[in-house]
Amino acid sequence: MKRYLIITTAVVIAAGIGGGAYFMRSQPTDIFAQCRSTHAGIITAFGGPFELTNQDGQTVTEKDVIDGMTLMYFGYTFCPDVCPLDNARNAKAVSIMEQQGLMVKPVFVTIDPARDTPAVMKDYVSYIHPRMVGLTGTDAQIKSITKKYLVYYSKELEPADPEYYLMSHSTNTYLMDPKYGFLQFFPRTVSAENMAKTVSCYADVIANN
């Protein structure tokens, strides 16, 4: 899987992450240029192999998960507002595309594996979308995939109740493809309709190449 990160609107990948920009180099050809609003360049070494556990308790790898066009989002089930809204937006976009004959897989990766067991993830994702895949794992596995996908997350330092802590995290959704790897990220300000339109554009290009 090719691992290129296209920068479309900013040189900082995740909203909410403090700190520096990433060095970029020009991409010689971009067959997806028509699907992007802007194009500045690419970052290499984004994404890559992972091994996690799905909501059915099965061990899965990136080949099992990203076996077609996939929307990946990182969060946690105890999240009070951001994650439910973002996952619902992603689910709506997937449903719009499904009605148009395009099947895109919605994926939710937890950053809180201590609480998000496979059973918890199964209840959560089944409520959001019948085809949504929920992924959890060990602390080490979650640290590994979030590092590869440039996902920021942090546990609340001094919660009033240790069992009800909150997590800070970045909120981008990543569009992945088994052949082309990373295609684009969507900030949470993008509507389901615009997300569906953009993903459909990528799908059309892939179908013709």
In a domain, 82, yes or no: yes
Q: What would the two tokens of residue 19 be?
A: 């700190």
In a domain, 188, yes or no: yes
**How does pLDDT run along the chain (209 residues), one tens digit per residue?**
444 444 443 333 444 333 223 333 344 578 998 998 654 445 556 799 999 999 999 999 999 999 999 999 999 999 999 999 999 999 999 999 999 999 999 999 999 999 999 999 999 999 999 999 999 999 999 999 999 999 999 998 888 888 899 999 999 999 999 999 999 999 999 999 999 999 999 999 999 99
In a domain, 175, yes or no: yes
In a domain, 19, yes or no: no
In a domain, 77, yes or no: yes
In a domain, 126, yes or no: yes
pLDDT number for residue 45: 63
Work out whether strand 59-61 and strand 70-75 pair parallel, antiparallel, or are unpaired.
unpaired
Q: What would the two tokens of residue 192 be?
A: 């389901």
Give the domain CATH number at 187.
Answer: 3.40.30.10
pLDDT number for residue 17: 37
pLDDT number for residue 186: 94
pLDDT number for residue 70: 98
CA distance 60 to 133: 11
In a domain, 138, yes or no: yes
- The domain of 150 spans 48-207
In a domain, 121, yes or no: yes
Q: Which of 8, 195, 33 is nearest to 106 (CA)?
A: 195
Q: What share of the chain is helix, strand, coil (3-state, %, to 5)?
A: 30, 25, 45
The pTM of the full predicted model, rounded to 2 decimals, is: 0.85
CA distances from 135 to 62, 75, 85, 109, 141 (A): 11, 10, 18, 5, 11
Q: Domain count of the chain?
A: 1
pLDDT number for residue 16: 38
In this structure, what are the phi and psi dihedrals at residue 181, rounded to the nearest 5 degrees? 70, -135
